[in-house]
Amino acid sequence: MKKNKGLIIGFSLPIVITLCVMYIYPVMRTLLMSFFQIESVTGDTSTWTFCGLGNYANVFASAGFKAAMWNMFKIWLVGGILTLSLALLFAVILCSGIRFKKFFRAAIYLPNVVSAVALATMWIQYVYNNDYGMLNKMLEMVGLEGVKWLSSDMKFWAMLFAFVFGAVGYYMLIFISGIERIPVDLYEAATIDGANKIAQFTKITLPLLRGIIKTNITFWSVNTTTFFLWSKMFSPIDSEASTIVPVVYLYNQIFGSKGSYTRDAGAGAAVGILLALIILVVYFVVNKIIKDDELEF
Amino acid sequence: MKKKLLSALLSVAMVATLLVGCGGTTATTEEAPATEEAAAEETAAEETADAAKQYEGVTLNFWSMWNSAEPQGQVIQAAADAFEAETGAKVNIEWKGRDIQQLIMAALEQGEAIDLFEDDYARIAKTYVEYCYDLTDMAAAANYADQSFACFNDVATAWAGFLPCVTEQPQVGGVFYNKDIFAECGVEVPTTWEEFMAVCQTLVDNGYQPLALDTAYARFNMGYHLERYLTEAGVSELIQNGGWAESEGAIQAAQDIIDFVNAGYLADGAPDEYPASQNKIGLTGEVAMVVCANYVAAEVNNNTGAEINWGMFNYPTVANGSDSTNAYAGANSIAVTSYSENAQAAFDFALFLTSGEFDQQMADTASQIPADPRNTAPAIMDGTIEALTATANPLSWNMGLNDNADVKEASNEIVIKLFEGAYATGADFAAAMDALY
């Protein structure tokens, strides 16, 4: 069939233009902004002053940014291990032929349907509250003293646990889709050969889920770097070192915060570029370590 | 040809109808008065109407920081309707809510059709000043000084170099307390830290918990206490350059707080997560005070359904301190854009909303301080007008502790830890602060 070049161009041009305008231009502009001293994010380019890597040097020297990066790393590592492990565990259990599978799947996914604001409020007010929170009430029932779950030492972990609770269902669904792709014959053959469930999991399920694990790690990394709302909910008026994350730091740099009117869009752009680089690095490292094309089924 | 003729006839008929329609009122007006008195009244009414409708055909675009369903939004809408009826100017309100902070700058830079907008007065005078109309002459002509708090006008003018905004919703910070508890315990409002500590002890002796504190306001509390020793400029200098361990005032301020916490004067669970601690004032009736801005009174009442008999006093002074008696004061204000083609109409609307009837309505409906000192503060804002009138140099939010964005979050945590009792001495607190630099 003869290719109609005009038709191809006609169909692809709108999306190419949209991609350039909506994606490539903002990315390039942000990259450029990160090398300039800029007060207003929408300010005219005539107001920009070139400062080389000055913005990067400033954000790396900032105690707030360092705290934010450290928090993000903890969310990525600890939260990632918790979330992906629990998600995989639930996925395996749900795919093992248990009864009420649909109910449990829906129940575990439910927090993803609820607004994150409502979810965070529920955790702060009804679970962690000192006086009438569920956790302290449970401790009281067994005769133990209540804990200040939202004290400065505990707040990060309280926030992370609440976030993990809401995130597990999403990754579980992705794992389920991966597990359901694995042919049942493999498990039947393994059962006949005498392999128990753990052996089946480690020798069949895990190796065949490499591609899905890679996808989930990438999604988790993106989710971690864009972590914003939970931090805002756990420190609603003033950012705190225990809960600040890079995107909140970026937001404060660009728009200022309560009682703070200085704005630095250049520093904000530098943070944005750094976050994008982190995601790229994670993506390439994960691709390098986890190969998903070794096995075919 | 016939069509052209028909068109011409129809046009003539239409013009004739218009002329008759427009001329009818005058004819009636001329014929109607039966007596000279009635004629004079009619003329006066006509003149008033002509003068009042001075902005007929004018449309003002107003970006509001509220939503239409909020009490503030409802009063603004009512004022806009009344202003249109009185002057003919239509006020087209865009309800941007709190997102205005993220939206307004880009809109101003792009020259979007905005005549007025609302935001924090400091942000207007510092951040958006380039796009603000100089209201100095209009304000002088309208005797604005007589219907506003001088402290806001003076400070905004000092920041911007001219009067950039009209105060709409003033705020004042200090110690807000339950007057019934004070009366029951027989204590007077304290003015010094020693008196304040004595009041706290009396409250504890009577079974009350003296002070609510949410972590969100820990720096506000500490900022006030530091300011009393060092002044706001001194606090700003310390937070920017460090040297806390060399500052006797800073060490003493931290020691005062440690002593306060160790004496058990914080409410149970404080510092708590906003708004859990302040809500205890209404929920338990056993917590007497909170250091915050005036909106805390309405927040507690709304959150808990309690009707606290609120009072307010200025944050206490300290011995060997700076003798500062200034209070935190801030305001949501209205600015007119520098490129507005109807600046006078916009200013008149801002004044219409922030003085007289609608200002009183705003104060009553939204339980806040009136912008016009001639109006009356609602009962729960008792003492706030006096505090604002007495404040010559209003303190900024957190009294200078916000002046170093690099250590803001980390210093916030150290201050929270101070209230959590994590430091044994003021020197330990100072050392922790110095470690940030």
Nearest to B273 among A64, A150, A244 (CB): A150
Quick check: B406 and A62 CB within 8 A? yes
Nearest to A63 among B102, B109, B406 (CB): B406
Evaluate whether residue A130 is within a structural domain. yes
Give the pLDDT of chain A (297 residues) as one tens digit per residue. 566 888 899 999 999 999 988 989 999 999 999 999 999 888 888 999 999 999 999 999 998 999 999 999 999 999 999 999 999 999 999 998 888 988 999 999 999 899 999 999 999 989 999 888 999 999 999 999 889 999 999 999 999 999 999 999 999 999 999 999 999 899 899 999 999 988 999 999 998 998 899 999 999 999 999 999 999 999 988 889 999 999 999 999 998 888 788 889 999 999 999 999 998 998 899 888 887 666 666
Quick check: A238 and B272 CB within 8 A? no
Burial group, residue A16, by CB count within 10 angstroms (0-12, 13-18, 19+): exposed
CA–CA min distance A236, chain B (Å): 7
Among A135, A168, A140, A138, smallest CA distance to A150 is for A135
Question: Which residue has 């039966």 as its token pair?
Answer: B34
Query: What pLDDT, on the 0 to 100 scale, is given for residue B32?
Result: 40
Contact A4/B at CB under 8 A: no
* Helix-strand-coil split of chain A, %, nearest 5: 70, 0, 25
Query: What pLDDT, on the 0 to 100 scale, is given for residue B5?
Result: 54
Alpha helices in B242-283 (DSSP H): 248-262, 276-283
Spatial distance between the Cα atoms of B228 and B250, rounded to a whole number of angstroms: 10
CATH number at residue A157: 1.10.3720.10
Contact A130/B at CB under 8 A: yes
Strands A49-50 and A36-37: antiparallel
Query: What pLDDT, on the 0 to 100 scale, is given for residue A293?
Result: 62
Quick check: A130 and B269 CB within 8 A? yes
Evaluate whether residue A11 is within a structural domain. no
Query: What pLDDT, on the 0 to 100 scale, is given for residue B52?
Result: 54
Considering only CA atoms, give the Rg of chain A. 24
Query: Which H or E run contains B210?
Result: strand B209-212
Q: Check the CA dihedral A255-A257-A258-A263 and report its sign.
A: negative
Evaluate whether residue A253 is within a structural domain. yes
Spatial distance between the Cα atoms of A144 and A267, rounded to a whole number of angstroms: 47
Query: What pLDDT, on the 0 to 100 scale, is given for residue B49?
Result: 53
Quick check: B436 and A236 CB within 8 A? no
Contact B359, B353 (CB under 8 A): yes
Q: How many CB contacts within 8 angstroms connect chain A with chain B? A: 103
Query: What pLDDT, on the 0 to 100 scale, is given for residue A41?
Result: 87
Evaluate whether residue A19 is within a structural domain. no
List CB contacts (< 8 A) between B409 and chain A: 63-64, 67-68, 239-241, 244, 249
List CB contacts (< 8 A) between B398 and chain A: 259
Give the pLDDT of chain B (437 residues) as one tens digit per residue. 455 555 555 555 554 444 444 443 333 333 344 445 555 555 555 555 555 578 999 999 999 999 999 999 999 999 999 999 999 999 999 999 988 988 999 999 999 999 999 999 999 999 999 999 999 999 999 999 999 999 999 999 999 999 999 999 999 999 999 999 999 999 999 999 999 999 999 999 999 999 999 999 999 999 999 999 999 999 999 999 999 999 999 999 999 999 999 999 999 999 999 999 999 999 999 999 999 999 999 999 999 999 999 999 999 999 988 878 889 999 999 999 999 999 999 999 999 999 999 999 999 999 899 999 999 999 888 888 888 888 878 999 999 999 998 899 999 999 999 999 999 999 999 999 999 98
Spatial distance between the Cα atoms of A184 and B385, rounded to a whole number of angstroms: 77
Contact B407/A at CB under 8 A: yes
* Amino acid at residue number A59: V
Report the Cα B336 to chain-centroid distance in Å. 17
CATH superfamily placement of domain B173-328+395-434: Periplasmic binding protein-like II (3.40.190.10)
Quick check: B268 and A124 CB within 8 A? no
Nearest to B269 among A131, A244, A249 (CB): A131
Window 76-115 of A, Cβ < 8 Å to B:
none
Tokens representing residue B58 in the block: 């004018």
CA–CA min distance A43, chain B (Å): 7
Contact A126/B at CB under 8 A: no
Give the other-Cβ count within 10 Å of B319's Cβ.
Answer: 10
Quick check: A241 and B413 CB within 8 A? yes
User: What are the start-end ranges of the E strands in B323-387?
Assistant: 329-336
Evaluate whether residue A273 is within a structural domain. yes
- Report the domain count for chain A: 1
Task: Tell me, yes or no, if the two domains B58-171+329-390 and B173-328+395-434 fold the same way.
Answer: yes
List CB contacts (< 8 A) between A249 and chain B: 409
CA–CA min distance A169, chain B (Å): 28
Alpha helices in B36-99 (DSSP H): 36-52, 71-87
- CA atoms within 13 Å, Cβ hemisphere of A80: 22
> Could you write out the three-class secondary structure of A103-160?
HHHHHHHHHHHCCHHHHHHHHHHHHCCCCCCHHHHHHHHCCCCCCCCCCCCCHHHHHH
Nearest to B127 among A129, A263, A264 (CB): A263
Evaluate whether residue A30 is within a structural domain. no
Q: Which CATH number does B58-171+329-390 carry?
A: 3.40.190.10
Q: How many helices (H) and strands (E) does chain B have?
A: 18, 8
Contact A46/B at CB under 8 A: no
Task: Give the domain ranges of chain B.
Answer: 58-171+329-390, 173-328+395-434
Evaluate whether residue A172 is within a structural domain. yes
Mutual angle of helices A54-61 and A265-289, in 10-degree steps = 80
In terms of residue numbers, what domain contains A146? 47-289
Quick check: B216 and A239 CB within 8 A? no
Evaluate whether residue A297 is within a structural domain. no
Contact B106/A at CB under 8 A: yes
Among B269, B159, B327, smallest CA distance to A136 is for B269
